[in-house]
Copies of this chain bind each other. A is one copy, B any other.
Amino acid sequence: MLNSTSLTTEARTRLEEYLLKKGLRRSSERFAILEEVYSRDDHFDAEDLYQAMHHRAFAVSRATVYNTLDVLVDCGLVRKNQFGDEDNTKSRFEKALGRQQHAHLICVNCHRVIEFCDPRLQLIKTTVGDTLQFQVESHSLVFYGECADEACVARTKAAANLQ
């Protein structure tokens, strides 16, 4: 199995090949951002990434963050999600390499994101595509609800009592 280091290496190689193939430049910003993305295991937004780059002492502009995320999504190294939860506008990203496709559970109280897989989703995809003559390319499945995390439950209960 791939560990985190070799994953990053693989990602770097893939990005190089992609840039070469597309005639795009291998700027240091792009590789630095890829590095940061592959060092994390969460679902981050563009601003998180922007801040993280500053803490990394590799300050890039927001424009570059957005531009690079587009590139990384386009070459399959990053997945872009729009969770319709508390903040329906901003996108959240996650690294894509070495991870199987999955769906998300989002706690409407603490906004925790939990990943899960279920083979039946693939079956639905196939059925639907065949039945409706639709070439399904990707999907987004999100469940919204309340998680069982103690701190979250306690906080929610306390908030309910205030009303």
Contact = CB atoms under 8 A, between A and B. Distances in A.
A interface bracket (residues with beta carbon within 8 Å of B): 35 or more
Interface string A89-117: 10100000000000001011000001010
A151 to B, nearest CB: 14
Contact of A144 (B121, B139, B147, B148): B139
Contacts of A133: 147-148
A82 interface: yes
B118 A128 contact: yes
Contacts of A91: 84, 88
A58 interface: no
Contacts of A158: none
A146 interface: yes
A2 interface: no
A5 B84 CA distance: 31
A128 B121 CA distance: 12
A120 B129 contact: no
Given A120-B124, A134-B145, 10 more contacts: A105-B136, A107-B134, A118-B124, A118-B127, A134-B147, A134-B148, A135-B148, A136-B144, A140-B144, A141-B141
